[in-house]
Structure 1
Amino acid sequence: MAGPDSIRDWLALAALPGLGCTLIHRLVAVFGTPQAVLNAGRAVSQVEGIGPRLAAVFDNPTALAQARSWAAQEQERAAKIGVQLLCCNDLSLYPSLLQTIPDPPVLLWCRGDFSCFQLPTVALVGSRSATGYGRKVSFLLARQLTEAGCAVVSGLADGIDGQAHAGALAAGGRTIAVLGCGVDVIYPRFHNRLYEQVAAQGLIVSEYSLGTQPEGFRFPARNRIISGLSLGVVIVEAAARSGSLITARMALEQNREVFAVPGRIDSLQSEGVHRLIQQGAYLIHSVDDILMELPAVTLNGEKHDEAVPMAEELSASEKELLTLIDDPSPADIEELTEKSKLPVSDLHGLLLGLELKGLIRQLPGQQYERT
């Protein structure tokens, strides 16, 4: 784990006005360490995005002293309440999946067990105004995911999020709650018992300093961490303009799998989910549909991959068609029709057979790729 002096330098950088994750990462990439950045003065102006006003802050002894003072106080406050600070350069503890997103948090305030980061992680999110069906499905999927060896990631919100944490805890599994406020702020307040259970059995995480109150603009930023920590994101219920759809979009941008649980066609809480399915999200009806699509991970000590048919189990036509879909980019139906010289009805039958055997999958626009 990074030493206290290193953490204090990261905190001091984060305390300077006008600096966010993106600029802090750029500065450290140029100057090497956060301490070197703090000592760089106006030389920081050579970094893209640092204008004259920001450069003047680094040349202001009072501003730098105030940032360092706040950093020392924040360290003391965190230590007193059992909160640990994790730096993005701490490769031994900082979650490797989160390192891969475009703007990983510079610091994480954590309460609980860091070993949760070592497990395969799946996010499970959805509507705060969840239906009884949505709550039941969220609880069940979370329980089954933890029984399979995964940690469930969610946002501790009311509705789907809360049930996801509760399902994981009920199975005796691990769960990670990512907050849109400080880790010492319980939101919503009536989740105080759930908060304590997650802290005792899993991990509470935030990129915001202690005492930070929940505000609307913080939650989209929080959502990038939920998806960034996870191999895949499951949307259980989401209205047409739900914040969960932001999480789904961020998951796609981060090259994560997106899964959607279908609901009633007349349910407003499933309108956004059904739109995701139309756009190509995996429709799931059991936990196996999630586990089969995750990157190769070990669950409960065993490789959880769908059995792939041996070459001799495929017909000559299937083998030939499979070679046409062997390109790194997906093949569309027109291209396959032209190359295979097969009647469209026969082609669709062969494609369906290969899809059922788990060798290919269909993408939007009648495109196919190897799994």
Structure 2
Amino acid sequence: MDTAPGNRTAWLILLRAPALGSAALRRLVAHHGSAERALGALRGGTAARELDEATRGWLDAPDDARIDADLAWLALPAHQLVGWDDPDYPTLLRDIPGAPAALFVAGDASLLWMPQLAIVGSRAASAGGLATTRRFARTLAAAGFTITSGMADGIDGAAHEAALDAGGRTIAVLGTGPDLVYPRKHAGLAARIAAEGALVSELPPGTPGKAEHFPRRNRILSGLALGTLVVEAGLKSGSLITARCATEQGREVFAIPGAITNPLARGCHQLIRDGARLVETPEEVGASLASHAIELGDHLRERLGVMADAGAACDTGADRAAAHDPEYARLLSALGHEACDVDTLAARSGLAVPALSSMLLLLELEGRVAAAPGGRYQRLDGGR
């Protein structure tokens, strides 16, 4: 998923340029085909005339020590830069207005393509709100959804932890550089997410948290996900910004109601009045997102080249998975009669882990596979 060395360096120079925002970078890279060619055009072409003096100075003579430090971070295991010119840039995020030009990732970047549910809520969550968060995150992670949140205190942290404890996957979208942890109390959680999920940021390494970074982070959080669930939120909560981003991006918004005397329920009630879907169980969320997950799974299989043939693209939904795609037959054969984890399935079947995760989700929706404790999967069709 990473870019070639020259293009990677060009991305770092462009991302740190003083006055080049995401929109300008996306246009430049799309026009020239790569960050490296866009940088060359800015350095020697007429486009440079439109830049201010500080930006031109940086592009012509960037701080080598800073770029070298960025490259050193990217050289560490499981550290990647996914740019707008990368075919592995996540398809859902590419569709949103104001998409980031590039993402820094620490962990499993393939999770960016997985069916995700964003779970957000108050930093000062109630005990009941935390318990509800854990129940929803645990159930939906076990059902195959990657749980995405912002690693803030309260609801966010509980969602990440519950997903990992269920043997599932989680993504934390940061309002700092990918090498910094905010709040600091989540240092252990961040390390666990990097090892078992992914930390994601549009900000270069070393960038501290600032107030303006977190609303920007929220659009990425909702943009990666099929839907956003708000558990508890006051009327001025940042979670409502994430929900608004999700609505503007055409994504599902779910809200959990609470007691009318609970100030942390008022934001959820406002969302419900504004059209968010009231939900009481994780199963309601999963059922609502099932068709979207199938569609995303189609994109993923096409990207990974595991579609059986071009003609299979004319079939629809889960019926294709079971009846027309030999990759699914190979997966079911590898699964056998006892529950096993995804890594074991990958070794048995020769299929890539990202593809397996998507395929297993579709088979769950068909009722042919069930999630078992410890991130394992069990056949339900009697081995047929």
Separation in 1, partners of 2:13, 2:288: 42
Is it true that 1:89 corresponds to 2:92 in the alignment? no
3-state SS, counterpart of residue 290 of structure 1: helix
Is it true that 1:210 corresponds to 2:213 in the alignment? no
Contact 2:151 2:157 in 1 (8 A): yes
Separation in 2, partners of 1:285, 1:217: 33
The alpha-carbon deviation at position 16 of structure 1 amounts to 1.2
Which residue is 2:62 aligned to?
A: 66
Give TM-score scaled by structure 1 length: 0.75
The alpha-carbon deviation at position 18 of structure 1 amounts to 0.6
3-state SS, counterpart of residue 62 of structure 2: helix
1:44 corresponds to which letter in structure 2?
A
Separation in 1, partners of 2:5, 2:40: 18
Partner of residue 182 from structure 1, selected from 173, 177, 180: 177
Give TM-score scaled by structure 2 length: 0.73
Which residue is 2:117 aligned to?
A: 122
**Displaced runs of 4+ in structure 1, greater than 6 A?**
none
Q: Per the alignment, do residues 58 and 193 of structure 1 end up closer, same or farther by CA in structure 2, a change over 3 Å counting?
A: closer
The alpha-carbon deviation at position 284 of structure 1 amounts to 0.3
1:259 corresponds to which letter in structure 2?
F
Q: Per the alignment, do residues 295 and 232 of structure 1 end up closer, same or farther by CA in structure 2, a change over 3 Å counting?
A: same
Separation in 1, partners of 2:30, 2:114: 29
Contact 2:146 2:171 in 1 (8 A): yes
Contact 2:11 2:35 in 1 (8 A): yes
Which residue is 2:238 aligned to?
A: 243
Partner of residue 232 from structure 1, selected from 227, 231, 243: 227
Partner of residue 155 from structure 1, selected from 150, 156, 160: 150
3-state SS, counterpart of residue 44 of structure 1: helix
3-state SS, counterpart of residue 124 of structure 1: strand
Is it true that 1:304 corresponds to 2:369 in the alignment? no
Superposed CA RMSD in Å reads 2.2
Separation in 2, partners of 1:230, 1:81: 26
3-state SS, counterpart of residue 127 of structure 1: coil
Residue-by-residue CA offset, 1:222-260 (whole Å, 9 max, x unaligned): 001100100000000110010000000000111100000
Larger Rg: 1
**Structure 1 residue ranges without an equivalent (≥5):** 46-50, 307-371
Contact 1:125 1:244 in 2 (8 A): yes
- Identity over the aligned pairs, expressed in percent? 42
Q: Per the alignment, do residues 187 and 57 of structure 1 end up closer, same or farther by CA in structure 2, a change over 3 Å counting?
A: closer
3-state SS, counterpart of residue 110 of structure 1: strand
Query: How many residue pairs were aligned?
Result: 298
Separation in 2, partners of 1:65, 1:269: 50
Residue-by-residue CA offset, 1:313-368 (whole Å, 9 max, x unaligned): xxxxxxxxxxxxxxxxxxxxxxxxxxxxxxxxxxxxxxxxxxxxxxxxxxxxxxxx
Which residue is 2:46 aligned to?
A: 43
